[in-house]
Amino acid sequence: MPPLNAPHPSSDDLNAAPNPAIDVVDVAVIGAGPAGLMAAEVLSAAGWRVDVYDAMPSVGRKFLMAGKGGMNLTHSEPAEPFVARYGKRAGAVGQWLRRFSADDVRSWSHRLGVDTFVGTSGRVFPVDMKAAPLLRAWLSRLRASGVRLHVRHRWLGWDENAAAGPNHLRFATPTGERQVCAKAVVLTLGGASWPQLGSDAAWVPSLREHGVSVAPLIPANAGFEADWTPHMRERFAGHPVKSVTMTLPDGTTRQGEFVISEHGIEGSLVYAMCAPIRDAIRSSGSAQVYLDLLPDWSAERVAAEVARQRGSRSMASHLQSRLGIAGVKAALLRECLSRETFNDPAALAAGIKRLPLTLLRVRPIAEVISSAGGVSLESLDAQLMVKALPGVFCAGEMLDWEAPTGGYLLTACFASACVAGDGAAAYLEANR
């Protein structure tokens, strides 16, 4: 078997004659991440010759990186709460999911010979928890269907002076600039997170120049910075904070866990609340969240235990013995409450149940899991074709939507690619 992502001898064009005049193809898919490969699969199954172009030396790099901690393919929760995870874009993404649902993700994986299972959190994983075997099987099937992969092809935009039509594309390659005329184009260029893996948002100016509305790309599924003391930063960075709830000023509450970082907080609970926290910081300069360190205890029980006589014991020993608060949770209390509060049992009990934590900044977009913003859905028709650019379709993370981790990101990337692939196939058929 060839090494993972190695160009197939029949489809790799890097050894072709340099600088051909113009290559004419049925459909050019630009971006070889999950959305690009899924669009290629849909179009190939519809009978079209598909050429996939990617700037990186190999394909699916972010897919592989996401799988390093266990390849989370999708989530098993029912359709209604699943769709609600997409927030303001739930209506649009819900339509995509009608085409390719979470159940379809699992069926697709099984057809590739990779069985899945549902974890205790409801997340769906391959049985071996790895991304590489799945990607290897997928690439093998795509090549067998005639899909051609062109790596080290960085899209430069359109050739404005070309007489070959609106989809006359320019690529920078190791052998010089290459020109491709496609009957249809599917852009799956990613957002702006992890640019070292290919998602560098270099496409934004080109689309804006062609009248496409692109919302600013901003961090999603991101950590946030807090003003930790040196002791907190040095002693507790990397420690998980488990079994807590986080509440926003508007009352939105979620239970889960997060991790103390050198800069502030990160982890699944933080990512689930990312959008409103980020938006509050953007509008007000900071965001206040409230932590319940003992969500399974009533406020009355906490107050009663804190108020018990502690004799000669320190407050730290008292909290540990009566409430089980120690380690990182005890450190959070010291960080976020005043010294005077520890001398007031009622105020301390209230702080345990509603601990105020001020978040100052979102972490830089280059290091976060995903990005929000991108091509405005209002710039696209129902089949994800750009209204200002007939024959050009967009899918994946480059579109203006976001979702928390848990399989929701990958599922929507797949689903949007299926919609765009269907749309491109219909466009090609109508313009034979």
Range with the lowest mean pLDDT among 23-37, 126-140, 157-171, 377-391? 157-171
Binned at pLDDT 50, 70 and 90, residue 12 comes out as very low
Q: Say if residue 200 is in the same domain as residue 235.
A: no
* 244 lies in some domain: yes
Q: Say if residue 215 is in the same domain as residue 286.
A: no
Hey, is 123 helix, strand or coil?
Answer: strand
Asked if pLDDT for residue 74 goes beyond 60, the answer is yes
Domain's final residue, options 336, 362, 388: 362
Q: Say if residue 353 is in the same domain as residue 287.
A: yes
- 253-260 and 264-266: which strand pairing? antiparallel
Q: Are 149 and 173 in contact (CB under 8 A)?
A: no
What confidence score (pLDDT) does residue 17 get? Answer: 40
* 341 lies in some domain: yes
Domain of residue 228, residue span = 224-362
Question: What global pTM score does this model have?
Answer: 0.90
What confidence score (pLDDT) does residue 265 get? Answer: 98
Put residue 144 in one of left, alpha, beta given phi > 0 → left and psi -120 to 50 → alpha.
Answer: alpha
What confidence score (pLDDT) does residue 133 get? Answer: 94
Asked if pLDDT for residue 4 goes beyond 50, the answer is no
Look-up: residue for tokens 């991304």?
131
Average pLDDT value for residue range 6-35: 66
What confidence score (pLDDT) does residue 29 get? Answer: 98
Q: Say if residue 60 is in the same domain as residue 159.
A: yes
Q: What is the CATH number of the domain that holds 70?
A: 3.50.50.60
* 150 lies in some domain: yes
Domain's final residue, options 341, 362, 383: 362
* 2 lies in some domain: no
Q: Say if residue 130 is in the same domain as residue 215.
A: yes
CB atoms within 10 A of CB 230: 7
Binned at pLDDT 50, 70 and 90, residue 161 comes out as low
Average pLDDT value for residue range 35-39: 98
- Per the structure, the count of domains in the chain is 2
* 268 lies in some domain: yes
Q: Say if residue 152 is in the same domain as residue 127.
A: yes
**C-alpha count within 13 angstroms, C-beta hemisphere, residue 154:** 15
Asked if pLDDT for residue 299 goes beyond 50, the answer is yes
Binned at pLDDT 50, 70 and 90, residue 6 comes out as very low
Angle between helices 345-353 and 327-336 (to 10 degrees): 110
Quote the mean pLDDT of the chain: 92
Asked if pLDDT for residue 363 goes beyond 90, the answer is yes
What confidence score (pLDDT) does residue 162 get? Answer: 53
Q: Say if residue 93 is in the same domain as residue 196.
A: yes
Q: Say if residue 67 is in the same domain as residue 148.
A: yes
Look-up: residue for tokens 């890097």?
14
Average pLDDT value for residue range 283-309: 96
Domain's final residue, options 315, 333, 362: 362
Taking the C-alpha atoms of residue 37 and residue 40, their distance in angstroms, rounded to an integer, is: 5
Q: Say if residue 255 is in the same domain as residue 202.
A: no
Binned at pLDDT 50, 70 and 90, residue 396 comes out as very high
* 9 lies in some domain: no
Q: Say if residue 185 is in the same domain as residue 234.
A: no
Range with the lowest mean pLDDT among 85-94, 156-165, 341-350? 156-165
Q: Say if residue 62 is in the same domain as residue 195.
A: yes
Q: What is each CA distance from 355 to 13, 216, 231, 331, in whole angstroms?
A: 59, 33, 19, 12
* 7 lies in some domain: no
Q: Say if residue 311 is in the same domain as residue 378.
A: no
Helix boundaries (H) for 266-314: 268-272, 274-284, 299-307
Asked if pLDDT for residue 250 goes beyond 50, the answer is yes
* 12 lies in some domain: no
Asked if pLDDT for residue 10 goes beyond 70, the answer is no
Exposure b/e, 76-85, CB count within 10 A at least 16 = b: bbeeeebbeb
